[in-house]
Amino acid sequence: MYQVLIVDDEPMIREGLCSLIPWHQYGFRVQGTAKNGKEALQLYQRLKPDVIIVDIRMPEMGGLELIHTIRETDSTIRFIILTGHADFTYAKEALVHRVDGYLLKPLDEEELIPLLKQIQVDLRQRNTLTELLEEDFQLKKDRFITQALTRSNTLSKDQFYEQCELYGLSAKSYRIMLFQVQQSKELTEKELKQLERTLPNGFVFTNPKVGVVLLDEATDWERQLTSFVQAKEGYGAIGEAVTDPFTLIQSYSNALDLLSYTFLFKESTCLTNDHLNINDIEKKDEELNLEDYVKKLSIMITLGLVTSCRDLIQDLTDDLIDRRYQPMSVQKTMIHFYSMVVNKLVLHDPKKLTLIESLPFNPSIIYEQSHIYEVAKIMTNRVIELIHLIYSESKTSTVEKMMELIDKQFAENLRLEGIAELLNYNAAYLGKVFREQTGEYFNTYLDKSRIKYGKIYLEQGYKVYEVSEKVGYKDVDYFHRKFKKYVGISPRAFQKQQILLQNLKQSNIQ
């Protein structure tokens, strides 16, 4: 509907015009009425009508003065004069101001309707042309922004800055915001364009990706776009600020790089460079000590520590985030981690292999996850399942689990303090309970287990230094002292003794 403003100092004329003409039938709606030019000017500034029907002689401001005032700033509005004065001077001045009709009172409906029909046709054509021009302007602007983001334009710097001025891209600073949401590119563009119509300091673009050029601070845009990302449960990424539109590609590339890290963050997050800053910058370049995590987790599983296992996997997850691992690297690392843990458990206790194989696990599920927290959740659940499987029919006490741990992982660097920390016990108290139930101090029990397996390895023909390392003694002299303490002779003497006994057995058999 095109909007009409009726201006006449006679109330009956105003009311008559409102009711006499079937405005809607011809595509019009009376938006308001005014009793003089001054009041009409205020309504015009507020309502912005398409057509004004106006009397010539009115108090305070006449019709011709009103037309002259509006025409100084508005060349497109349409005027129809309705007057009781058939004065050639008035008609001549009306023509100067491009008035569409000069009708005399009393009004003949048949004279006004043809004018309205023609005005409607003209307005439709004008609007169609305006829409085409706006569409063309928008396409050119989008193309210019795309070229600025990809450095594919052939403009000189001066020409580039002229285009920025033309398309309203002049500002003190610029930032690019990109989006990654679970909906079509077309729908995202449509919703962002709706925001663009209501907010200043921002321009939507669709190539190479859907995004927004933020001019200066653009706080309203940031607030609205953050809400948009949260509502879509997707991700946004805001590139670094640049002060020269010629370097927009830097902000775009930065935002694009940020989007590659969405795997490491929860959904509904708007990423900035702050998300990639870590306290220990050197950590990112250090090699991940995965073996340490494997050793700790295998101990925790052996001890049946569900909470500790969950915490350790979270620590590993945080470590991968801090190191800014890419999705494929995270997935490969987690699968390798799980494989190493299983191998260590089976190595220490081959009987566990049958149990673990009874619990099917397809590594491909890790590659199907959209972010690292889902991967960590799968790994945690898997480890808890292993613990429940291993101890499903067992009522093993804490000390019995410690004895099993020593028996299976005697070669590891096992310390009472470390185990007490995992179990949330005081080390002195745990040591006392262990001694009461086993009759041995923890370290004595550990040494005896190591010596027991050391004797087996010596009987199998391993060299003394090899046996020392296999049972957990890094210092061969220390192993020598411990072995002599518990066996009464040196490792080498024990090995010779065993060889002699085997030879005697062989002779007796023969």
Task: Examine the pLDDT at 282 and tell me if it is beyond 50.
Answer: no
Angle at 273 between CA 335 and CA 167, to 5 degrees: 125
Residue 119 half-sphere exposure toward CB, CA atoms < 13 A? 26
| pLDDT tier for residue 300 given thresholds of 50, 70 and 90 | confident
| Average confidence (pLDDT) over 166-177 | 91
Q: Which of 55, 48, 46, 42 is nearest to 6 (CA)?
A: 55
Residues 6+ apart with CB under 8 A from 260: 326
- The pLDDT of residue 508 is 67
Identify the bridge partners of residue 355 per DSSP, sorted by sequence position.
Answer: none
3-state helix, strand, coil in the chain (%, to 5): 60, 10, 30
| pLDDT tier for residue 11 given thresholds of 50, 70 and 90 | very high
Task: Examine the pLDDT at 281 and tell me if it is beyond 60.
Answer: no
Structural domains of the chain, with CATH? 2-107 (3.40.50.2300), 143-276 (3.30.70), 283-394 (no CATH), 440-509 (1.10.10.60)
Q: Burial of 324 by CB count in 10 Å (0-12 exposed, 13-18 middle, 19+ buried)?
A: middle
pTM exceeds 0.75, yes or no: no
- The pLDDT of residue 395 is 56
Mean pLDDT value across the chain: 86
Contact 16, 105 (CB under 8 A): no
- Which letter does DSSP use for residue 242 in this model? B
- State how beta strands 51-54 and 78-83 pair: parallel
Q: What's the Cα-to-Cα distance from 73 to each of 6, 234, 303, rounded to whole Å?
A: 20, 46, 84
| Average confidence (pLDDT) over 191-211 | 88
The number of helix segments (H) and strand segments (E) in the chain equals 22, 10
- The pLDDT of residue 277 is 67
- State how beta strands 211-215 and 202-205 pair: antiparallel
Q: What's the Cα-to-Cα distance from 255 to each of 179, 181, 266, 329, 418, rounded to whole Å?
A: 9, 15, 17, 21, 44
